Amino acid sequence: MRGLAAGAYLLLGCLSLTAASGAETTGQELAETASRGLVGAPAPKLLLTTIDGQNIDLGALYGKQAVYLKFWATWCVPCRQQMPHLEHTFDTAGPDLAVIAIDVGFGDSLDAVRTLRQQIGLSMPIVFDRDGQLGAAFNLRVTPQHIVIGRDGRIQYIGHLADERLDAALVAARRPWNEPEQSRGAGARAVTAAAHFGVGDSLPAQSAALLGGQSFEFQRAHEHRPTVFVFLSPWCESYLATTRPDVSSSCRIAREQMTALADDGRARWLGIASGLWAKREDLVKYQQKYQVTVPLTLDASGTLFREFRVNDVPTIIIADSHGKIVQRVEPSDAHSLKKALAALM
């Protein structure tokens, strides 16, 4: 089966980040959270482009084929463990099921995706969700996240495990559907691009809810200090310590600099945590474990990450005392945060 063990496609047990990061959130819990309001709803009509340049019109498939979307990432251990199941499903799909793998784009690259595809022999279409819009359309909360869309164009199942529930959903989704063609996908949600803010733009006039219940206003009248947004993940330092030690190290460096530099009060700080593989409780534990004193917010929907076009952590956005974004510090430059701030003081 193209480099994958044929007998190993069924993954049993409950996968989570617990062993690697100490978090107690399970993937299935996060997938169930993602399913609320989506299961039973019309699936969005989206035009996908694979990493090989192939266009896939999901809306054109509804009414003809069931659709199985798997959101995954190259750094995700359970994603790799479940790849034999995905490949087996693709190999045996037949004409009534479309199977598409979607890399979430978070902390990943096209090169990493192509390398993994070659290493383990993946043959299904692969899409790279560079701007996070596909994840937004399906309430992405975890990797892997399985989306099963029936031939009627409605979402039938969202899960995390490659188990009997997923297999049953894939069977049920293929059942014939006899509604008139004009009703297919009726009411499907359109996915609109988020507003984008980059260097040269002003911070948006919005706010974020903090862990303590307060509100952090991005724009504050009569505020004469720079504003610093640190985009982070509460599991970056621990979960990636062995698989991506350079990224883990950058997350640690950014956290340490953030904590040290925030003490003098010369800038406004906000730590913005990704909602991928994280709930509020996980961010609280991160705050307590590392004694983080700057305000923290959980970007559960990923809106802020998309608005500021952040795909990797740690990414730092710096605005001057007038609220104008003047610098973006990428993960590889985490050491330069102190120097970047000093230029504004």
Structural contact between residues 95 and 119, judged by C-beta atoms closer than 8 angstroms: no
Helix (H) or strand (E) holding 285: helix 280-290
Kindly report the number of other CB atoms within 10 A of residue 343's CB atom: 11
pLDDT of residue 194: 64
Nearest alpha-carbon partner for 108 in 129, 122, 87, 92: 129
pLDDT digits (tens, 9 = 90+) for 111-134: 999 999 999 999 999 999 999 999
Regarding pTM above 0.85, the answer is yes
Range with the poorest average pLDDT among 43-47, 54-58, 175-179, 220-224: 175-179
Which CATH number is 6-183's, of 3.40.50.300, 3.40.30.10, 3.40.630.10, 3.10.580.10? 3.40.30.10
Q: What is the mean pLDDT of residues 63-91?
A: 96
pLDDT grade for 188, boundaries at 50, 70 and 90: very low
Residue 182 in this model has a pLDDT that exceeds 90: no
pLDDT of residue 165: 96
Structural contact between residues 179 and 154, judged by C-beta atoms closer than 8 angstroms: no
pLDDT of residue 179: 61
Residue 309 in this model has a pLDDT that exceeds 90: yes
Range with the poorest average pLDDT among 11-20, 216-225, 272-281: 11-20
SS3 of the chain: helix, strand, coil, percent, to 5: 35, 20, 45
Largest CA distance in the chain: 67
Q: What is the mean pLDDT of residues 28-48?
A: 93
Range with the poorest average pLDDT among 38-42, 91-95, 164-168, 243-247: 243-247
Residue corresponding to tokens 């862990």? 211
CATH 3.40.30.10 positions along the chain are 6-183, 207-342
Residue 334 in this model has a pLDDT that exceeds 50: yes
Residue 176 in this model has a pLDDT that exceeds 50: yes
Q: What is the mean pLDDT of the chain?
A: 88
Residue 289 in this model has a pLDDT that exceeds 90: yes
Residue 185 in this model has a pLDDT that exceeds 70: no
pLDDT digits (tens, 9 = 90+) for 144-160: 999 999 999 999 999 99
For domain 207-342, the CATH superfamily is: Glutaredoxin (3.40.30.10)
